[in-house]
Amino acid sequence: MKKPQIETFFATLQAANPEPRTELEYSNHFELLTAVLLSAQATDVGVNKATRGLFAVANSPQKILDLGLDGLEQHIKTIGLYHSKAKHLLATCAMLVERHGGQVPRDREALEALPGVGRKTANVVLNVAFGEPTMAVDTHIFRVSNRTQLAPGKTPLAVEKALLKRIPKAYMVHAHHWLILHGRYVCTARSPQCNSCAVNACCGYKDKNIGKNKCQAKAKP
């Protein structure tokens, strides 16, 4: 995908959804961090269902600590891997209280030092909570980036670096959400909706049912 095509790709996504938002439900930075930590190998719908009850009684690090392991697990037991996630969340809450005054730090190194928080989670928090132009590469973004030839890469980190380099600055803050939503609802894993895709003309993917895409045809000298 060349620069003019990338510009059109994101301009089209922006026109369809000018202010994209995460589908995780939260009302403060700590709730966001918690929801993202719990979302690993789980759906946003499933996480939201669990956190509605959890956040109603505990929406700060200290309140989560007050629940204890058993109390916390009762609230999140419908989420996959809830045993390990509960332990990580409690350890994270303890560190937030002890080192950060109960606040979520606006610093990658400090975020990644939290138990259960890796690069992807830190990127989500930095982007969604603080508006940083980061790129959290999940399974949807990895697939879309490679399939469309927007930013091919063999690893999530390689794709992240390629996206940060190739996406125009004007689109960076919201690009994470546009790509996730596109991968979740249009450029799906098993049956990509190529025929109804708004950015099909700027995609490098060849679908056997639609033949050579318009963008490739236009790219020829």
111 in Cβ contact with 126 (< 8 Å): yes
176 in Cβ contact with 134 (< 8 Å): yes
User: Is 138 marked active-site?
Assistant: yes
Q: Encoding tokens for residue 204?
A: 């490098």
| Helix, strand or coil, per DSSP, at residue 80 | coil
Distance CA 65, CA 118 (A): 21
214 in Cβ contact with 201 (< 8 Å): yes
| Helix, strand or coil, per DSSP, at residue 195 | helix
User: Is 49 marked active-site?
Assistant: no
Catalytic residue among 44, 66, 77, 120: 120
Catalytic residue among 66, 85, 138, 154: 138
Distance CA 106, CA 111 (A): 8
Of 12, 38, 5, 13, nearest in space to 24 by CA:
38
Catalytic residues, by residue number, are 120, 138
